Amino acid sequence: MDWCRLKEDRESRLKQGDAYRIEKKLVAAKDTGRLLEAVIRPGDRVCLEGNNQKQADFLAEKLCRVNQEKVRDLHLVQSAVAMDSHIKLLEKGIAKKIDFSYSGPQAAKLAELVQKGKMELGSIHTYLELFGRYFMDLIPRVALVAAVEADREGNLYTGFNTEDTPVVVEATHFKQGIVIAQVNRVVDRLPRVDIPGDWIDYVVEAPRPFYVEPLFTRDPALITEAQILRAMMAIKGIYAEYGVQRLNHGIGFDTAAIELLLPTYGEQLGLKGKICSYFALNPHPTLIPAIESGWVTGIHCFGGELGMEEYIRNRPDIFFVGPDGTLRSNRAMSQTAGHYACDMFIGSTLQIDEEGNSSTATASRIAGFGGAPNMGCDARGRRHASEAWLKCGEEDGMRRETLGHMPRGRRLVVQMQDTFREKMVPGFVEELDAWNLQKTAHLPIPPVMIYGDDLTHIVTETGIAYLHKCTSLEERTAAIRAVAGYTPVGRKAEREKTKELRRRGIVKTPEDLGIDVSDANRSLLAAKSIRELVEWSKGLYHPPVRFKTW
């Protein structure tokens, strides 16, 4: 019995790859394609690092141009299908199968490939699920990762965007796989070591820096009064009501509005120190005014955000930074914090159905999940208590039927929703498009971002529905209809039922919350433009040119 086949296989691959070494672990950029051909075998499971922010784009492009006699039928296992090159790999047949988490900009092309039968779709995961499978049944044989700098021994400095690199490299390297890193620069001495050199087999200095998307920057100038109203309702009716101290914010304008209302409206309500002390969050520029006003104690980041480098360097008490002063982000750790250490998730979505299930899927796009479902759910394994968690659990209207008398808390899972989005597309629907996508993409289940039984609150301009207080599924549907405005779902609301739900505090309108709708205007925003964010940061925030309007 040979117990060392993986190791032998690794050694035989390295033997071929080593032909391209020029110095220690360095391989010249021009030899990248040949290196890939030397160490990758047909049918290999390959992880191309990339997520909704940084991308190992140079290695991905080189992989697209390999000799298909030597490299083909790969099984891609990776966080994101984000680049044109990822799609090209599948189109050309260099890869034939993919397991992934998020696809954002390539969602439509991915759906097209699946429909044409050009590729095999494994599963669509959340980040944490996929990371988990990297250590079980989806272990990468070869990983292609990205870092800012490397030295000749292969030590990596990932800088601001550490993100997925540690988890990818750990899974690959310790199961005898091969790790190749593209770096922006090879240097003699790194500012700090994020990945030890003996976990890395080859380093390629890419001709241009890896691509990073500033995905979490929201221009305050684009925040609408409807968003401000919902933000006021959420702060007063949820944050204050439950004393939410540890949380994650989604990516949209609704939560950006909340961030910008903390130093103004939140201050008026006397909530400073009582809510929003800790975040699992990318470094949102819109959080700068709250940080500067002393609201925030700590933030752990999934990834970085372009332009926030110098600001974070100067606020080391708030963020996680290395001895060199730059942010240390880590997606796996931050997702863990988001799942187990947060009392609330709040975000927004495209569609919510009458049972409270929500989805960002449309029939022609396979967008994936990213990280939201691991935060937008009740963490059933959680055992420590907090005020917000306990209160939400106590209010659970169906607790007696399911659990009996044992006290148990519950995470707040909140969706902020426009009743109608742009072009009068309804935000509440009788049937999610996810059902359609399930059919067209042959998925085992409709892709649901947040399930109805995990959702505790919906905030619309009509009101807040406290769904977890409902005593039956039927009542939950009535509560959803009550806040769904003039959508087909909302028009089914019955006047008397809604009145009763308001009386029992399951539905609260702005009036019930003591909010005057006419107070919801842009003058409440602590910063009304990107430029004012720069002023708040005392010139430490440097917005990317696409957001810099001066």
- In the complex, the smallest distance separating the C-beta of residue 549 from another protein, rounded to whole angstroms, is 5
Q: Is 420 in the site for another protein (CB under 8 A)?
A: no
- In the complex, the smallest distance separating the C-beta of residue 146 from another protein, rounded to whole angstroms, is 23
The vertex-425 CA angle with 421 and 426, nearest 5°, equals: 85
Give the long-range contacts of residues 134-138, CB within 8 A, separation 24 or more: 134/47, 134/77, 134/167, 134/168, 134/171, 134/172, 135/171, 138/45, 138/77, 138/99
Report the residue number, 228 or 333, with the smaller CB distance to another protein: 228
Q: Is 546 in the site for another protein (CB under 8 A)?
A: yes
Q: How many helices (H) and strands (E) does the chain have?
A: 21, 20
Residue corresponding to tokens 């429909």: 115
Q: Please give the Cα distance from 59 to 125 (Å, whole number).
A: 24
Report the residue number, 406 or 545, with the smaller CB distance to another protein: 545
Q: Is 545 in the site for another protein (CB under 8 A)?
A: yes
Q: Do residues 184 and 148 touch, judged by C-beta distance below 8 A?
A: yes
Q: Is 442 in the site for another protein (CB under 8 A)?
A: no
Report the residue number, 43 or 105, with the smaller CB distance to another protein: 105
Report the residue number, 439 or 546, with the smaller CB distance to another protein: 546
- In the complex, the smallest distance separating the C-beta of residue 546 from another protein, rounded to whole angstroms, is 5
CA dihedral 23, 26, 29, 31 (to 10 degrees): 70
Count of CB atoms within 10 A of residue 226's CB? 18
Q: Do residues 36 and 74 touch, judged by C-beta distance below 8 A?
A: no
Residue range at the interface with another protein (CB under 8 A); choices 19-27, 161-169, 233-241, 539-547: 539-547
- In the complex, the smallest distance separating the C-beta of residue 415 from another protein, rounded to whole angstroms, is 26
Q: Dig out the tokens for 530 from the structure.
A: 């990107």
Report the residue number, 472 or 549, with the smaller CB distance to another protein: 549
- In the complex, the smallest distance separating the C-beta of residue 327 from another protein, rounded to whole angstroms, is 24
Q: Please give the Cα distance from 411 to 413 (Å, whole number).
A: 6
> How many residues in the shown chain lie near another protein by CB under 8 A?
12
- In the complex, the smallest distance separating the C-beta of residue 352 from another protein, rounded to whole angstroms, is 24
- In the complex, the smallest distance separating the C-beta of residue 271 from another protein, rounded to whole angstroms, is 22
Indicate the residue type of 493.
A
Report the residue number, 147 or 262, with the smaller CB distance to another protein: 262
If DSSP states are collapsed to H, E and C, what string results for 351-418? EECCCCCEECCECCECCECECHHHHCCCCCCCCCCCHHHHHHHHCCCCHHHHCCCCCCCCCEEEEECC
Give me the half-sphere count of Cα atoms (radius 13 Å) on the Cβ side of residue 471.
4
Q: Is 215 in the site for another protein (CB under 8 A)?
A: no
When binding is defined by CB under 8 A, the residue of 221, 318, 443, 473 that contacts another protein is 221
Residue range at the interface with another protein (CB under 8 A); choices 56-64, 308-316, 339-347, 540-548: 540-548
- In the complex, the smallest distance separating the C-beta of residue 231 from another protein, rounded to whole angstroms, is 17
Give the DSSP H or E segment for 434.
helix 433-440
CA dihedral 499, 502, 507, 510 (to 10 degrees): 100
- In the complex, the smallest distance separating the C-beta of residue 265 from another protein, rounded to whole angstroms, is 14
Q: Is 548 in the site for another protein (CB under 8 A)?
A: yes
Q: Please give the Cα distance from 54 to 531 (Å, whole number).
A: 25
- In the complex, the smallest distance separating the C-beta of residue 351 from another protein, rounded to whole angstroms, is 22
Report the residue number, 239 or 547, with the smaller CB distance to another protein: 547
What's the gap between Cα 355 and its chain centre?
24
Lay out the site mask for another protein across 107-146 (x = CB under 8 A, - = otherwise). Answer: ----------------------------------------
Q: Output the CA–CA distances (angstroms, integers) from residue 136 to 49, 303, 330, in the order listed.
A: 18, 25, 20
- In the complex, the smallest distance separating the C-beta of residue 376 from another protein, rounded to whole angstroms, is 30
Lay out the site mask for another protein across 496-525 (x = CB under 8 A, - = otherwise). Answer: --------------------------xx--
8-state DSSP, 282: -
Q: Please give the Cα distance from 66 to 142 (Å, whole number).
A: 15
Considering only CA atoms, which of 216, 202, 153, 179 is closest in space to residue 47?
179
Q: Please give the Cα distance from 38 to 520 (Å, whole number).
A: 62
Q: Is 30 in the site for another protein (CB under 8 A)?
A: no
Considering only CA atoms, which of 337, 230, 322, 198 is closest in space to residue 281?
337
Report the residue number, 307 or 338, with the smaller CB distance to another protein: 307
- In the complex, the smallest distance separating the C-beta of residue 522 from another protein, rounded to whole angstroms, is 6
Q: State the Rg of the chain over Cα.
A: 24
Q: Is 58 in the site for another protein (CB under 8 A)?
A: no
- In the complex, the smallest distance separating the C-beta of residue 529 from another protein, rounded to whole angstroms, is 8
Considering only CA atoms, which of 169, 163, 166, 168 is closest in space to residue 216?
163
Report the residue number, 221 or 443, with the smaller CB distance to another protein: 221
8-state DSSP, 493: -
When binding is defined by CB under 8 A, the residue of 133, 274, 528, 542 that contacts another protein is 528
Report the residue number, 3 or 550, with the smaller CB distance to another protein: 550
Report the residue number, 70 or 548, with the smaller CB distance to another protein: 548
- In the complex, the smallest distance separating the C-beta of residue 219 from another protein, rounded to whole angstroms, is 9
Report the residue number, 224 or 436, with the smaller CB distance to another protein: 224
Residues engaged in binding another protein (CB under 8 A)? 221, 424, 522-523, 528-529, 545-550
